[in-house]
Amino acid sequence: MEQQRTVTVIPATINPITKKSETSLNKRRVAGYARVSTDKDEQFTSYEAQVDYYTNYIKQHKEWFFIKVYTDEGISGLNTKKREGFNEMIRDALDGKIDLIITKSVSRFARNTVDSLSTIRRLKEKGIEVYFEKENIWTFDGKGELLITIMSSLAQEESRSISENVTWGQRKRFSDGKVTLPYKQFLGYEHGENKDDPPVINEEQAKLVRRIYSMFMHGQTPGKIARTLTNEKTPTPSGKQMWRATTINSILTNEKYRGSARLQKKFTVDFLTKTMKRNEGEVPQYYIEHSHEAIIDPIEWDAVQDEVKRRKEIGRAYSSKSVLSAKIVCGDCGEWYGVKTWHSTDKYKTVIWQCNSKYDKDKPHCKTPHLLDSDIKSRFISAYNRLIFDRKGIIDKCNSIINRFTDASFIDKEMDRRLNEMDTLKEIIQKCVMENAVVAQNQEEYNIRYNGYFERYEALKAEYDKFLIQKEKLNTKRRKMEQFITNLVKNDNLLSDFDDWLWLTTVDKVVVQKDGGLLFKFYNGMKMLC
């Protein structure tokens, strides 16, 4: 008689995922993870509460062994790269120090779907489970990954929505003319009493700002200013000891010191990575005049911008050794005059100026003479005093020239006409692309039509840019002439001493004649031989 076959199931004693005995009495090593997304005071309570909660929660389970609660404070969940507490926890888990991680929700773990899933899979491969308390999801559960994918996607979408709302709120503030500054790293200003109050001048810091502007207009370069402040152990805007030329340059060119504000110079490209990009016309900018009290007088600020531009254009020809640098030109060959030192090591030491090409082997020697520093300055004083004698007549002529030769209304009309045509072409091009996407067309004909529109757009853009350059030149000329007039109005007394500011803001260049005469060319177009 054939015996009946019997089958007895022997339960598994090793978890196929964790590779650990199911009957083992070993406690699971458990860690908690707590995170708040801002470092504001109102979030501190939430942060402390999370830490206390998970510490007590884990210790209440006899089958668990408490490792620690890993934390991140003031960190966004969109990207795990900058979350030190999170990354430390993952390292410890992968090193075999943790069996189970408990956290509040999927959004606390990560709001980036890719980061969330990739991290969970890495942990799963090493037999480490994650429990999301709010959603009641265990990653070893068969449906765990599907649920996490859905919840992570929802959390990511929520972050995108929040980011868009924040961006909209910021742009609304910009359009309303509300100015905010990174006060902790911005020299010269501090918060007003109320949230929406304009920035208030910090007088102690403002002294340093004015000094930097003054040092620059006395001939010093940003690099030299930076070295001076570093040697004096003056703290930088961010509290560091080392000043850099880029920091000085940013202070010199920031419109906020003249009481204006250009808003949205940068914008967020990707809400996930928080990547910022310099705004080159992709989104609107907002320029607000008189948005707050100025530290630097607007006219003086404009003069500094002109000097920054001048030095940039002449490049290496400018030297910080003297305020006279890159202003004096050889009338024989057109080369710059440069400063030289004679007898630098003895009592006959003399500083002179001579043509930089005077002894060039490949060129005939210039017939123009060398000049003493003191001689140039004294002759400038003489030339400027001659202007003072006829101050009223010169001011009237300047005002007439400004109105006649710096009028940009024609340029504005031409720029507007091209902008309107460019806007029309953009609409046509977009319509053309959309039609090609939904309607079958001859692609050769489509490409010809598209390229025609595009080439016309590029041609208009090139014309617009040329007009823009012309307008900027006119505006620069206007500013320099207005500064010239301001100098004559403010300084109605005869000069007795050389003035760096007047030299930089009134003299365009000085041409040295063969007989040693100096032809002063002023920004108002006047010429004077001394």
**What Å distances lie between residue 351 and 286, 342, 357, CA to CA?**
49, 6, 18
Judge if 493 and 365 occupy the same domain. yes
- DSSP SS3 for 2: coil
Distance CA 529, CA 511 (A): 9
**What Å distances lie between residue 338 and 129, 247, 317, 324, 419, CA to CA?**
74, 28, 8, 9, 45
Judge if 370 and 462 occupy the same domain. yes
pLDDT score of 17: 42
CATH classification of the domain holding 39: 3.40.50.1390
Domain count across the chain: 3
pLDDT score of 23: 46
pLDDT score of 285: 60
Residue 232's nearest CA partner among 216, 251, 208, 210 is 208
**What Å distances lie between residue 455 and 183, 239, 280, 426, 448, CA to CA?**
46, 51, 21, 12, 10
Q: Contact 418/463 with Cβ under 8 angstroms? A: yes
Q: Which segments of the chain have a pLDDT < 50? A: 16-19, 21-24, 39-44, 76-79, 168-169, 267, 269-272
Residue 248 covered by a domain: yes
Judge if 43 and 106 occupy the same domain. yes
Judge if 93 and 210 occupy the same domain. no
> Which is it for strands 100-103 and 64-73: parallel, antiparallel or unpaired?
unpaired
Judge if 439 and 386 occupy the same domain. yes
Q: Contact 459/418 with Cβ under 8 angstroms? A: no
pLDDT score of 242: 92
| Residues 6+ away with beta carbon under 8 Å from 67 | 29, 30, 31, 92, 97, 98
- For 426-482, the pLDDT digits (tens) are 888 888 888 887 788 888 888 888 888 889 988 998 898 888 888 888 888 787 777
Residue 333 covered by a domain: yes
CATH classification of the domain holding 287: 3.90.1750.20
Residue 177 covered by a domain: no
- DSSP SS3 for 353: strand
Q: Contact 356/337 with Cβ under 8 angstroms? A: yes
Structure pTM?
0.55
Last residue within a domain, chosen from 291, 316, 341: 316
Judge if 253 and 363 occupy the same domain. no
* β-sheet bridge partners, residue 499: none
Q: Domain range holding 145? A: 28-162
CATH classification of the domain holding 471: 1.10.287
* Burial of residue 442 (number of CB atoms within 10 Å: 0-12, 13-18, 19+): exposed
